[in-house]
Amino acid sequence: MKTIQMTLDESLVMEVDEEVKKLHTSRSAFTREALKKHLDYHRMLELEEKHRRGYKNHPASSKEFSEWEDEQVWVD
């Protein structure tokens, strides 16, 4: 692991300190987990955007999903 320095607003540090007490963890562990989750979130957004662009550049044809119509069961 690598040690880094960060500058944070005092109010944010206080909130983090309150949360780490509840979770019985450390600032470092809490921050590592928060950073990992945020990176995962941004990767998901990038994949969703890539998916959107793909469908925009190559829209689904009307026949693409019609093969599955007979498999659908509609219950009232």
Q: Tell me if 57 sits within 8 A of 49, measured CB to CB.
A: no
- Rounded Cα distance between 10 and 29, Å, is 19
pLDDT in tens, 20-41: 999 999 999 999 999 999 999 9
Q: Which residues of the chain have pLDDT under 70?
A: none
Q: Tell me if 63 sits within 8 A of 53, measured CB to CB.
A: no
Q: What is the reported pLDDT for 32?
A: 96
Q: What is the reported pLDDT for 71?
A: 74
Domain ranges of the chain: 10-56
Best CA proximity match to 19, nearest among 4, 38, 33: 33
